[in-house]
Structure 1
């Protein structure tokens, strides 16, 4: 069952959307912790996000940017803002579509179905999915998923980018500076400890699928994938 997450601080609108969408067989989750939308997002792992712009603490543009750091799931903005720039900003901040309030529920459902089809259904199937394979290890960048044998683990967007870089560089070393520039090119300065933290997380992801010591630290240079797992740890 596909999951829809609603981020809307008007509880009447949220409940109305929830009950209407559920009639079509979807599982619906309404976010209530507006201080940390991402905690709910990670817990729910929705297939699609309905997102208001005017929210407590941080607006919908902010939360959409946070989602895009970890997920490529469709995001549809629903807002009372009617200006053209609001719609432009919604798209530029990572949104896929925009619905103006007041809305007709059938329009909402049509847009939900359309985005789900594009992301996961008949339209998406016409495009060959990208995957990187090395010695039985398979990375699915669009799914944010890493597989080894029968084991699978879900990744964040940054974890996916790190592993993708390592696999693309193999057997060469992925330089620290190259990784920093690829992953955080929107920031003026990043503490290198941030990369260390992310590499620790990546190593844990490999451990989750049964691979120990998958990433080698090359002192003074960067990181490199090790393929000793081909002998079989799982």
Structure 2
């Protein structure tokens, strides 16, 4: 009887619903009136990618506290500066006026002496924004190039690989990120990079599909005008 009761209890626990949160939509804004569905999806994807980079910045600073100390400011202040530089499209001083992939190459250079976390996150965000025609929010007059978005996804993959494999002159990793050892595995950095790559690839495919579907819809409308109309019954 005891074992039956325990089995019943375990069965009840295993079948109990687990709350993992719920999907939340963005707040409605009057600016959406000037956005198509594609504009809105691109804006949400961009926001999610930037938030992923800011999360990675926080995680990298936790693993590499010596980086933010190079600036002489406290950690929160450095994070604030990086976010402002990204959102306001400002240059990052330690990157010598470079932007886009040139800034990424410098930030991941073994010889880079500045705050590598700030430089890397800023440069990666700037590259993604450049791939979106230099914009963070999109409206009816805006267009996107699917190949640029695809290339941005590959750039993020390359950057993640460099981060995990390249060493400085002392033979140490450029930055401590994912780890695997006797104490367990931490692959949270890889997962977050994967989310960014996935969103960029999906947007590239979506933009390509949009133009293809526009042609199909045009043909459907032509056919519908002739064959899909209701007929009078009286």
TM-score with structure 1 length normalisation? 0.25
* Larger RCO (alpha carbons 8 Å, 6+ apart): 2
| Higher-Rg member (1/2) | 2
Larger strand percent:
1
Larger helix percent:
2
TM-score with structure 2 length normalisation? 0.25
